[in-house]
Amino acid sequence: MNNPALQIALTVVILLISLAAGLYLRHRLVRRLKKTVLDNWLIQLLGFLVIIPPVIIGIIIISFIYGWNSLVDNLWGVIGQVFKVPNYENVIGNLIASVLIILLAIGVGRTVVKLFTGRMAQNGLNINIRLLLGRISYVVIMIIAALCILAVWNIALTIPAAIISIITVGLTFVLQDLLKNLVAGLYLLIEAPFKIGDKITTGIYTGKVEDVQLRATILCISSGEQAIVPNAMLFSGIVINKSIYKESRTTITITMRQEDFDTVQTTENILHTIKEVNGVMLKPEPELLLIGTAGTFGNTTGAVSGYTGEIITLTLRFWNPEGQDSVVSEAINALHAALPKADLSIREPAGM
């Protein structure tokens, strides 16, 4: 076939046909794999790989038309001389194999993580355990991929093992705090004193657990901000899990002047007011305790600020459903309306 125009036309047609066949196979494969548990990364990678065989077949057909065998050999020879790379065919093959191994490892790892965090929830396995198993599996898969790449390049394991040993000894001294957080993170994931979605209180923050990572725990605090708490703090400090029980007790301290306090009337007024607040639980009933008297009253702005004399301090305790913080706000507003001359403050239940 000596007509150049006909050769070019046949080349274009063959390439288009082979590419169309590859794209058709990719479409069929991707549509079917999306119904499985495979991660989208792995599905797209497999979809790309399935295009290669038809394209290779098209190139082989074109090579017979053009007689490209000698041309390709000459081209590879020039590349080898320019870059001074012996056995350049093996180098390029190893590079392609290494890239494919990395891509497959990432896809398989993401699929395994997805399997642990999603599908295994049907078995009732704790979310922290599923998260830990998924991450461990991902790391193991990447280690296996690294070993496969070393085998492709014929690198002895003694060299990377020695390098890793030296690096590990050095990092042990430098990254002590990080290692503490990692160990604490493993404990939190295995022991699971709280899980993702729980509302917890640490020494500083109160918020909803968004993620439990190996180094830190992510909290969404009430201000709408994200707090990253190192796991070592949670491991060694006190953590209050507010999501364990369905009810929580609220304590409000009421301070007023003694002349404004009547044992019967004030007590009945406070208990009646708090019982009328929507959301306050009547069982167990709210309780009001008289703490005692003191000589100074009023540390906040208002009509009674700066008053000096005998004061009465009362402690009001009531139960409300956990997570309904609006109940406490409504209770404060109702008590302010019923006792306009009193100071109100909320006491955290921790330690009481």
Q: Which DSSP helix (H) or strand (E) runs through 292? A: strand 287-296
Which regions of the chain carry the CATH code 2.30.30.60? 186-241
3-state secondary structure of 242: coil
In DSSP terms, 150 is beta-bridged to none
Query: Can you tell me the distance from the alpha carbon of 304 to that of 261, in angstroms, rounded to the nearest whole number?
Result: 14
CATH for 247-347?
Answer: 3.30.70.60
* Contact by Cβ (8 Å): 281, 327: no
For residue 311, give every residue at least 6 positions away whose Cβ sits within 8 Å of its Cβ, in sequence order, or none.
255, 256, 257, 258, 293, 294, 295, 296, 297
Question: Which value, in Å, is the radius of gyration of the alpha carbons in the chain?
Answer: 35
Q: Which of 286, 293, 251, 295 is nearest to 267 (CA)?
A: 286
Classify 186-241 by CATH class: mainly beta
Residue span(s) of the chain under CATH 3.30.70.60 come to: 247-347
Per the CB < 8 A criterion, the answer to whether 50 and 22 are in contact is yes
3-state secondary structure of 240: strand
Q: What is the pLDDT along the chain (352 residues), one digit of tens a residue?
A: 556 667 677 778 888 898 899 889 988 988 888 888 787 878 888 888 888 888 888 877 777 766 655 445 544 555 555 445 455 567 777 888 888 898 888 888 888 888 877 766 555 556 767 777 788 888 888 888 888 888 888 877 666 666 667 666 666 665 677 778 888 888 888 888 888 889 898 878 889 999 888 788 999 987 889 999 999 889 888 898 888 888 888 899 999 988 888 888 999 999 999 999 998 998 889 999 887 555 433 333 333 333 345 788 899 999 988 767 788 889 999 999 999 989 998 875 544 4
